[in-house]
Structure 1
Amino acid sequence: MSKSFLHNCPAPAKLNLFLHVTGQRPDGYHLLQSVFQLIDLCDILHFDRRDDSQIRRLTDNDQIREEDDLVIRAAKLLQKAASNKKNGFLPGVDIRIEKNIPMGGGLGGGSSDAATTLLVLNRLWNCNFSREELMALGVQLGADVPFFIFGENAYAEGIGEKLTPAATHDGYFVVIKPPVSVPTAAIFRSKELTRNTEPIKIANFPGIYKNLPDFGKNDLQAVAIRLFPEIATALDTLGRYGKARMTGSGACVFARFGNKTEAEEVAASLSRKWEVWTAKSLQNHPLEALFGSKS
């Protein structure tokens, strides 16, 4: 008999070890090259199957209406796709979310929550969609969602949906969240954003791994700093201890350290003035261990 619930399902954050904007499509989407690095800072989601077809969020969130939440949108998208596939009734679900990843920080928390929702409900509802089919659904919700479904660190191209496995180095990161929330759209709409970074040739890319996360830059960082000076302050502060860089469209900044002790000491010294985390790198999505396979 299939399970009626799946609890304690992790949705990990990501870091962009670099993020280059190489162009823009006619539809307005930006062309990117990046390396996505999973870290062990996770939201935790709980799913309980319902007897009716309702999809409900049981966790209050003053910042996002239930109908706008990517988790709810992901569940409804999968329910519709599976109902069409099976040509019949599909149950609903109650969802609870323990938020640990800050919103508006460039860590991909909303996208990761949506991806975990698709992965888990695919099991809970016995939809039997392949990972590739789930990624095709996920891109309808946001460009970062397919990465979290992909299940491992990745070199990304296109709008972020063209993914190649990336064997990044293990390590520890200190992550600072400045006291601002950055709207991604405002960064990408900026006339000051450069969109012509020379593309990396994939044939040359494996050698770059040796220098990650020191390779390249984040093309969104300069725009974000001009709009939100608090990010510059965070970069300067963390930059006293290591090479600091903004992730995604901001506002979070990070630096890599060689061991856990060093990272924890730096985080402790900053915690009096900043919202700060120590995070370990991951090679694979933590759901892989729960589900037992990438297929």
Structure 2
Amino acid sequence: MLIRYGYEIALTCPQPTPLVCLLAVHEDRAADLRTPETFFTTPAGLANSTYLDLYGNRCRRLTAPAGDLTIWGDATIADSGLPDRVLPEAREVPVIDLPDHCLVYLMGSRYCETDRLSQTAWDLFGAVAPGWGRVQAICDYVNGHIQFDYMQARATRTAFEAWQERIGVCRDFAHLAVTFCRCLNIPARYVNGHLGDIGVPVVDPMDFSAWMEVWLDGAWHTFDPRNNKPRIGRIVVARGRDATDVPLINSFGPHVLKSFRVWTYEVAE
């Protein structure tokens, strides 16, 4: 199947302001693009460049002029049309046997305070059989524990605060599940990307989504504590330890978000 995805974001800056944007499809999906990603700005012609960060994410640098700026991107990507894989027999890997690149995803980070939730994680899930089932038990718990509410979104809410307050948005679900996994010595990383309404009831307005990937049996596997069921058509934009590593827009100076629009939908072959 083919999926068209994109965004339109309008900002206002009081002065020229450097930006780093993580809005491009991740490098491991670049080969699936059927139309190249386009990137435009209004005003037009702003100099920009891209680079890969420490986590392999494609980042774009530019300087917003004083006043209004609109950034716009769009592309079409090929997808298998299959839902997320479910592998109930996948096993946890002992820490001593983990690849080096997994170790950073066992440690606490800005929004994932393993030190504050370690005992809670073991109390809740320590008796659950290790493996896929234990990660799914974490997702089931987080899905039932947190109430989704856009109006209660808070950029500074941590996993521990989400657990205490029992409210949040998809990033809070992901942060709490990632933290519980790490507390149990299961590598977990935060993922930001596009997730359309393919095969499920339509949700409007559309937004970027957050979920997690967990290392089991020698590979990364997708889990989504917010939706908590296999979905079709995930498009990864960025991965990192938590939301700190994958902001859609990182501005080195003040800005005001004026408008934000995202689209993800199936198109004809």
Higher helix share: 1
Higher strand share: 2
Q: Which has the higher relative contact order, 1 or 2, with Cα contacts under 8 A spaced 6 or more apart? A: 2
- Which category describes the TM-score, using the shorter chain as reference length? under 0.3
Q: If the length of structure 2 is used for normalisation, what is the TM-score?
A: 0.27
